[in-house]
Amino acid sequence: MPKLRRAKPKTAARKPARKDSQQYELAEQSKLKASVAARREAEVAHEETLVLPPKRRGDRLWNILAGLSLVPFVWIFTAALFVAFMNVKAGAHHVPFWRSGEFQWFAIGAGAWLAITCASLLVFQQPQPVRAYVFGHEMMHMLMAWTFRGKVKDFHIGSDGGYIVTDKYNFLIALAPYLWPSFAVPVLVAWGLTTMVMGPSFLREPFLVALGVTWMFHLTFTLWVLRRRQSDFHGPGRLFSFALVYLANTILLSGTLLVFAPYVGWRAYGRALAASALGFYDGVGKAFALCGEFIGWLWQHTLGS
């Protein structure tokens, strides 16, 4: 703790006694410590996870423009997800994908965790376990900071929230816990390694259940956190953050579904993606054409006369 220095009085005055001076310094240091402690408690209570750089003028405008630029991709990937999987027939009985065994095992895990979350909200007024989520949340921040060669100088993980202090900052570090499901990724890695060694059918159903549990864990806690005032979104901006989080999770979910739904195939998904993109931009073109016709009609019947 650096010592506090006081400016010397400009007018001649009696020099305070040494004992009074020491008491003043101790009181000032006590106030400063109390202020730091209060700020840290506030950071923990609001899950302040990063020390943010000061915002520059114009950052908010750029964040809004960046968020709007992601809207077409949000629409395209969402439409492709439903087009690719909604009508596909799975298995020997050619049932819809949503009634296939793979999706049902996944849905069992997701539904189980959703029931646990509802019970936690009724009993504790918040999802549980918070400490496990905070651990995964801060670990994703730290892993992304290390990826960009940043140093983690301090961190805190507790049931009341957490934070990290790092010398690197960008929107990927800030949004990492929302872009990647912290506990679903290890399940996918373990599943991939097991498939390589033991074959694709080994423990397939338990892995699908575990994937459903961890994915719903990520989804429920993400929705719970998004409604709170998170400092993670202050730097990138809320519009850009929400659009990127939604887009990343949609792409990752599509890739995961393709892994355990081989009857869809990457080519079929690519065709659905291309059709979705063409449909979106065709709709945008028609909307601009209608706007142009309306402006022309307005000019002809009002300003032109």
Residue 48 lies in a domain: no
Question: Model confidence over 4-62: pLDDT tens digits?
Answer: 333 344 444 444 444 455 555 556 556 555 555 554 444 433 344 454 554 555 577 88
Place of tokens 């900071």: 145
Q: Is residue 122 part of a domain?
A: yes
What lies within 8 Å, CB to CB, of 180 at 6+ separation is 140, 248, 252
End-to-end alpha carbon distance in the chain: 77
Q: Which of 260, 256, 253, 206 is nearest to 90 (CA)?
A: 260
- Displacement of CA 231 from its chain's centroid (Å): 12
Q: For residue 166, what are the β-bridge partners? A: 152
Structural domain includes residue 285 = no
Quote the CA–CA distance of 215 and 184 in Å, as a whole number.
6
Q: How far is CA 179 from the centre of its chain?
A: 5
Residue 288 lies in a domain: no
Q: How many domains does the chain have?
A: 1
Give me 220's structure tokens.
Answer: 């429920």
Q: How far is CA 191 from CA 37, 86, 194, 201, in A?
A: 44, 25, 5, 10
In a domain, 205, yes or no: yes
Q: Detail the DSSP E strand segments found in 18-170.
A: 89-90, 95-96, 152-158, 161-166
pLDDT of residue 115: 93
The answer to whether residue 215 is domain-embedded is yes
Range of the domain at 113: 94-280
Q: What are the tens digits of pLDDT across the range 242-258?
A: 899 889 988 888 887 77
Collect the ranges in the chain with pLDDT lower than 50: 1-19, 39-49, 51, 54, 92
> Are the CB atoms for 229 and 209 separated by under 8 Å?
no
Quick one: pLDDT at residue 270?
Answer: 85
Question: Which of 83, 91, 81, 105 has the alpha carbon at shortest distance from 262?
Answer: 91
Residue 121 placed within a domain: yes
Tell me the three state secondary structure of residue 163: strand
Residue type for 287, please? A
81 within a domain of the structure (yes/no):
no
Is 77 within 8 Å of 251 (Cβ atoms)? yes
Q: How far apart, in Å, are the Cα atoms of 192 and each of 106, 113, 198, 254? A: 16, 23, 10, 17
**The predicted structure's pLDDT at residue 32:** 55
